[in-house]
Amino acid sequence: MAAPERFKTKYVGVLSRGITQERGAFRLGCRGFSLVELITVMGVVAALATMSIPVYDSYLVSVRNGRCVADLRTIDKAVTAYILEKNSQPAQLSDIGAAANQLDPWGRAYVYQNFTIDASGALKDEFDEQLNTDYDLYSMGRNGASAQSYADPTSADDIARHNDGTFVGLRDPSRI
């Protein structure tokens, strides 16, 4: 004789933690992902990472350039305040105080060149004329190299003060 319906159990067993599993929950093939599915997911993740790395890198460059421009404007204001107070240009950046101790976003010191002392290494524009008439203030940029000439490719990523402080930015954004 068969047992009445109310005495039949729908549980197959009890796991080690006392959790019961329903009949058929551990069927063959339902235990996880197949190797093909895992490889497909890994391929999609790798493709997304490959596309996002250049975007992230360009984002970091623009953030560092923006910070550098802000630092140069701050230092330029400190130099201007020094000139108004002392009625002469500082010989070096350390003369202006705390603003001179800043490093650019790439960990290098900002470059300051006072033309009353020496104007021989002044930065030049595309027409081979000096960027500034009073002093140069710039960062050597991402590559850490700079050249006086505008045409030199090492100076393309320099962030400099132009036109006696009316503009601060890349020496040549079209070449980056």
- SS3 for 173? helix
* Number of domains comprising the chain: 1
Domain of 58, CATH number, reads: 3.30.700
- Give DSSP secondary structure letters for 42-106: HHHHHHHHHHHHHHHHHHHHHHHHHHHHHHHHHHHHHHHHHHHHHSS--SSGGGG-GGGG-B-TT
Per-residue pLDDT tens digits for 56-110:
999 999 999 999 999 999 999 999 999 999 999 998 888 888 777 789 999 999 9
Q: Is the model's pLDDT at 55 over the cut of 80?
A: yes
Q: Which residue has the tokens 């201007």?
A: 80
Q: Residue 137: name the closest of 103, 107, 106, 168 by CA.
A: 168
* Strand, coil or helix: 39: helix
Q: Is residue 157 part of a domain?
A: yes
pLDDT at site 33: 85
Asked if residue 9 is part of any domain, the answer here is no
Q: Is residue 5 domain-resident?
A: no
Least confident of 63-72, 132-141, 166-175: 166-175
What pLDDT does 152 receive? 83
Residue 156's domain spans which residues? 35-175
Asked if the structure places residue 103 within a domain, the reply is yes
Q: With respect to residue 12, please indicate whether it lies within any of the assigned structural domains.
A: no
Residue 162 domain-assigned (yes or no): yes
27 part of a folded domain: no
Q: Does residue 149 lie within any of the structural domains?
A: yes
Of the ranges 10-24, 43-57, 67-81, which one carries the lowest mean pLDDT score?
10-24
